[in-house]
Amino acid sequence: MKRVTIHDVAKEAGVSVTTVSRVLNDRGYISTEMKEKVLKAIKELNYIPNEMARSFFSNQSKFIALIVPTTENPFFGELTFRIEKALAKFGYHLFICNSLNDPENEEKYLRLLNEKRVDGIIVGSHNVDISEYKNYENQIVSIERKLTENIPMIQSDDYNGGVLATRELISQGCSNILCVIGDKNVETPANDRSLGYISEMEKNNLKPRFIEIPFQIGYEEKYKIIKDTFQTKFNFDGVFAGDDVNAKLFMNVAKEMNYDIPEDIKIVGFDGTQTMRSLVPELSTVVQPIEQLANEAVKILLDLLQGKKVKKESTLPVELYLSRTTNRIKN
Amino acid sequence: MKRVTIHDVAKEAGVSVTTVSRVLNDRGYISTEMKEKVLKAIKELNYIPNEMARSFFSNQSKFIALIVPTTENPFFGELTFRIEKALAKFGYHLFICNSLNDPENEEKYLRLLNEKRVDGIIVGSHNVDISEYKNYENQIVSIERKLTENIPMIQSDDYNGGVLATRELISQGCSNILCVIGDKNVETPANDRSLGYISEMEKNNLKPRFIEIPFQIGYEEKYKIIKDTFQTKFNFDGVFAGDDVNAKLFMNVAKEMNYDIPEDIKIVGFDGTQTMRSLVPELSTVVQPIEQLANEAVKILLDLLQGKKVKKESTLPVELYLSRTTNRIKN
Q: What is the CATH number of domain A158-289?
A: 3.40.50.2300
Asked whether the beta carbons of residue B93 and residue A88 sit closer than 8 angstroms, the reply is: no
Q: Residue A326's pLDDT is what?
A: 44
Among B44, B77, B248, the residue with its CB nearest the CB of A72 is B77
Q: Residue B168's pLDDT is what?
A: 96
Q: Residue A304's pLDDT is what?
A: 94
Q: Which of residues 246-285 of A touch B (CB under 8 A)?
A: 248-249, 252, 256, 273-275, 278-281
Taking chain A (331 residues) in consecutive chunks of 10 residues, what is each chunk's mean pLDDT?
78 87 73 84 74 53 87 94 91 83 69 77 75 82 88 95 97 95 77 94 96 91 96 88 96 93 93 96 96 97 93 96 63 51
Q: Residue A133's pLDDT is what?
A: 79
- Residue range A6-57 in CATH 1.10.260.40: yes
The ipTM (two decimal places) reads 0.80
- The residue ranges of chain B whose pLDDT is under 70 are 1-3, 25-28, 48-60, 101-103, 105, 116, 126-130, 234, 324-331
Length of chain B measured in residues: 331
What is B158-288's CATH topology?
A: Rossmann fold (3.40.50)
Is-same-fold flag (B6-57; B158-288)? no
Asked whether the beta carbons of residue B46 and residue A274 sit closer than 8 angstroms, the reply is: no
Asked whether the beta carbons of residue A98 and residue B80 sit closer than 8 angstroms, the reply is: yes
Distance from CA of B199 to the nearest CA of A (A): 30
Task: State which residue of chain B sits closest to A256, comparing Cα positions.
Answer: B325
Asked whether the beta carbons of residue B96 and residue A95 sit closer than 8 angstroms, the reply is: yes
In chain A, domain spans:
6-57, 63-155+290-315, 158-289
Q: Residue A328's pLDDT is what?
A: 54
Q: Residue B258's pLDDT is what?
A: 92
Q: Residue B327's pLDDT is what?
A: 44
Task: State which residue of chain B sits closest to A87, comparing Cα positions.
Answer: B97
Domain range A63-155+290-315, CATH architecture: 3-Layer(aba) Sandwich (3.40)
* pLDDT tens-digit readout, A50-95: 555 545 445 567 889 898 888 999 999 999 999 999 998 888 888 8
A43 lies within 8 A of chain B by CB: yes
How far is it, in rounded angstroms, from Cα A160 to Cα A166?
A: 10
Taking CA atoms, B267 is separated from A185, A295, B290, B326, in Å, by 43, 38, 22, 14
Q: Residue A129's pLDDT is what?
A: 64
